[in-house]
Structure formats: structure tokens, C-alpha cells
Amino acid sequence: MVLESAISAIIQVILFSVIPFIWWFFSARKEQSFLRWLGLQKPVIENKGNYFVWFLFIIVLLSAPLFIITYFYLDSSILASNRFIGLGFSALIPAFFYAIVQTGLSEELIFRGFLMKRFMNKFGFQMGNIMQSLLFGILHGWMFYSFVPFGVVVLVVMATAFAGYLMGWINERKSNGSIITSWGIHGIGNLIASFVAMFNVL
């Protein structure tokens, strides 16, 4: 299970990086490195206390609505974290690969790294952040479209879009454009969801 999780995580990161890499290669490779172009760089934090308060606050803000929706409206069997149900600590390493790398890193590369920064360059911060967060929400809603009523899909879209907006905001306003911050938030949120499944908390 560990090897399978690691391979799946690496493949997904590579797949999510293909379009950004091609775009960078033909438009920006002479200006900056690929990773810096995506924002995969060390955050520059001016006020660490304020930063960590926002970091923790956003984890709560994005986790609470999603857990409520999951508990009341979604069958846990359709969730990606379902693969870890009841496995306890034996699923710790696979859950780490799933939460931090497969979903956390790959989605941050494409949404807060590639899409948001391209949208920001074209339309400015506010519109760019709204656009990437809506796409983030729509993708997650689409994943559940065949399994739940349309009203629940709308709730999923709204909750994940809100989370996407907050992660874009903290990257650009508190981390000097680094997606390391949203990667951390996203990964921790996914890890919490995995732990909930691993130990049958809900």
C-alpha cells in the first residue's frame, strides 16, 4: 500500500505539472525558473505571529464547513479518503502521500501556482483569486455530481471555492506569493480528513 500510494502521488504531481511546464517553457523559461514561476519557493514572512494565526484560522475556516457537509450530506464511501477507513496507524504513510503530495501538492501547483498567477497577471489579484477559486470549487463539485443531489453539489462548490480563495489570499498577501503556505494548509486539511477515516471518528 505504501509503494502504491507513493507511485500514485508522484504520477499525479507529474500529470498536474505537464500543462504548466509546457506553458512556462514557451513563455517564461528565459525570465525565471519553473518552480519560482509557479511560486514553489520559500515564503517570505514579515510578521510571523500574524502569519501563523491566519494559517491556523484558515485551516479551521476551510475544514469546518467541509466536515459539516461531509457528515450530513455525503456518503463516506465516495470520498477519496475512504481507502483509509478503519486502518488506523497502518495507513499513516499512505495517508501522508495521499494528503500532502497526491492531492495537496498537485492541486496547489495547478490552482494557486499555475492558474492563479496567470489570472493575476492578466486581471489583477482580486479577480485572479476569484477565478482560480471558482475553478477549484467547480472541480470538486463536479467530482460529486453523479453521487449527490444538485443542492449538495452547490454546497461543495461554495465551500471548496471559499477554501481556494483563502489559500490564494494568504499566499499572495502573507507569503510573498509562495504556494508553500497553501500547500501546507491543503495538506493538513487532507491529512485531518484521512485521520478521521483511519480512526472512524465520524
> Is 70 exceeded by the pLDDT of residue 47?
yes
Residues 30-41: what's their mean pLDDT?
A: 96
46: closest CA among 186, 176, 198, 193?
176
For residue 173, the tally of other CB atoms under 10 A from its CB is 12
Q: What is the per-residue pLDDT across 133-171, written as a single tens digit (0 to 9) for each?
A: 999 999 999 998 888 899 999 999 999 999 999 999 999
Would you state the pLDDT for residue 200?
A: 84
Cα distance between residue 171 and residue 101, in whole Å: 18
- Residue 50: pLDDT band (50, 70, 90) is very high
Q: What is the per-residue pLDDT across 59-94, written as a single tens digit (0 to 9) for each?
A: 998 889 888 988 888 887 788 888 899 999 999 999
Cα 56 to Cα 52, 71, 87, 117, 185, distances in angstroms: 6, 22, 27, 24, 8
pTM above 0.75, yes or no: yes
Q: What is the per-residue pLDDT across 87-122, written as a single tens digit (0 to 9) for each?
A: 999 999 999 999 999 999 999 999 999 999 999 999
